[in-house]
Chain A
Amino acid sequence: MTDDEVLMRAIQAGDSHAYNSAVRQHIKPLSHYAFRMLGNSKDTEDIVQETLLRLWTHAQSWKPDKAGVSTWLHRIAHNLCIDYLRKDKSSVSSELSEDLESSDKPAQAPEREERLEALREALNALPERQRSAIILSHYQGFSNREIAEVMGITVDALESILARARRGLRAQLSE
């Protein structure tokens, strides 16, 4: 039995200590994913909270042979983010540049900062699924199969989405 299975069986049995341990383990990658998708901490907080609450309330629906816990949680977060963005597109805002704590903000040359700002805008301009695919592939460290599982598509479809996203980003940056 894998670590995921042991943990999830305990959560399914109502073990709140196991649940708290799983929350500690997954909260950071989930909050980074949601923040990159939504661009602000308030909405990120709502999505992360709902995702992790479902880890408790929907633990029975996790199937060990289908996906790892992290993949399963990212799938929930992905669906919540997509729903949220489709309902209220105007709320997508960017705190990335303003709210970085000084220790986290690497010193950038002005030209580099401009390029980063351009990339930020280009990412926000991407369709939600393309943005999600880029984030899952570049930042979250998932394999192509895991990303396809998160997004509920085939690997071929994923590669097509990723290629369109990267081409889109390059085109935006070269303007």
Chain B
Amino acid sequence: MNDAPQERELVTGTMRGQDHMNMTAQRFEQIVTAYGSEAARWPAQEREAALHFLKESLAAQSLVEGYRELDALLDAMPVPALAQMEQRVMRSLREKTRDSFLDKVLDWLIPRQQRGMAWAWRPALVACLPLVCGIYMANFYSFGIDSVENSWQEELYLISMNDYAEITE
């Protein structure tokens, strides 16, 4: 599989300044050596010019022919069926990315649709939850203060405890 004669001819072509739609022999050789014999794999922006060059140049056709066997062999090399492995990976990923109970509670409180600064304010909100609960419970149970009607008696009692000495002076 020696392609030296083709290469020589291609280089000669370049030196003569042969090109077809801005495709030089040197560039064509670079394309085929890098991307192989199938035009579908050639760079899209140069494909048309390269195909035109291929049509016109025998050396180019010979170069492409030299890489055809390699491409055919690469095409024929299969991979095994990996379906079971893929199922295992998907199962494992589902377990690893499953939301924790705390995440579910947080999502119920504040859906994660607009995350933004969520990394900061979501934990802050969680930290505030006990405070909110405390205020609610204090308001609900009143902790021994039975009703508003008794409060004037308490006020009188507190006034009677004051020291009026400073005021009278």
Kindly state whether residue B5 has any CB partner on chain A within 8 Å.
no
- Compute how far the CA of A65 lies from the CA of B103 in the bound complex, rounded to whole angstroms: 31
Determine if A106 and B76 form an interchain contact, defined as CB atoms under 8 angstroms apart: yes
| Whole-angstrom distance between the Cβ of B63 and the nearest chain A Cβ | 12
Closest residue of chain B to A167 (Cβ to Cβ) is: B33
Given contacts A53-B96, A166-B36, contact A173 B73 (CB under 8 A): yes
Looking at the complex, which one of A49, A170, A171 makes contact with B92 (CB distance below 8 Å)?
A49
Interface stretch of the complex, out of B49-57, B78-86, B132-140, B146-154:
B78-86
Residues of A within 8 A of B71 (CB): 138
B37-81 residues at the A interface, CB under 8 angstroms: 41, 43-44, 66-67, 69-71, 73-74, 76-81
Determine if A106 and B93 form an interchain contact, defined as CB atoms under 8 angstroms apart: no
Kindly state whether residue B125 has any CB partner on chain A within 8 Å.
no
- Compute how far the CA of A116 lies from the CA of B85 in the bound complex, rounded to whole angstroms: 25
Kindly state whether residue B115 has any CB partner on chain A within 8 Å.
yes
Determine if A166 and B70 form an interchain contact, defined as CB atoms under 8 angstroms apart: yes
Determine if A108 and B76 form an interchain contact, defined as CB atoms under 8 angstroms apart: yes
Kindly state whether residue B128 has any CB partner on chain A within 8 Å.
no
- Compute how far the CA of A158 lies from the CA of B93 in the bound complex, rounded to whole angstroms: 33
Residues of A within 8 A of B107 (CB): 14
**A interface, by DSSP: helix, strand, loop or mixed?**
helix
Kindly state whether residue B9 has any CB partner on chain A within 8 Å.
no
- Compute how far the CA of A10 lies from the CA of B70 in the bound complex, rounded to whole angstroms: 43
Residues of B within 8 A of A44 (CB): 82, 85
Looking at the complex, which one of A27, A41, A137, A169 makes contact with B70 (CB distance below 8 Å)?
A169
Kindly state whether residue A4 has any CB partner on chain B within 8 Å.
no
Residues of A within 8 A of B92 (CB): 49
Residues of A within 8 A of B16 (CB): none
Kindly state whether residue B112 has any CB partner on chain A within 8 Å.
yes
Kindly state whether residue A129 has any CB partner on chain B within 8 Å.
no
Residues of B within 8 A of A82 (CB): none
Given contacts A96-B79, A174-B1, contact A137 B41 (CB under 8 A): yes
- Compute how far the CA of A108 lies from the CA of B115 in the bound complex, rounded to whole angstroms: 55
Residues on A lying within 8 angstroms of B by beta carbon are 12-16, 19-20, 23-24, 27-28, 31-32, 35-36, 41, 44-45, 48-49, 52-53, 56, 95-96, 99-101, 103-106, 108, 112, 115-116, 119-120, 134, 137-139, 143-144, 158-160, 162-163, 166-167, 169-171, 173-174
21 pairs from A and B in contact (CB 8 Å cutoff): A15-B112, A16-B98, A16-B99, A27-B89, A31-B86, A41-B85, A45-B85, A96-B79, A96-B80, A99-B80, A100-B78, A104-B81, A106-B76, A112-B76, A144-B35, A158-B34, A162-B34, A166-B33, A166-B34, A171-B1, A173-B73
* Given A101-B80, A173-B69: 4 more A-B contacts, CB < 8 Å: A16-B99, A170-B67, A170-B70, A174-B1
Identify the 3 closest CB pairs spanning chains A and B, nearest first. A162-B34, A163-B33, A174-B1
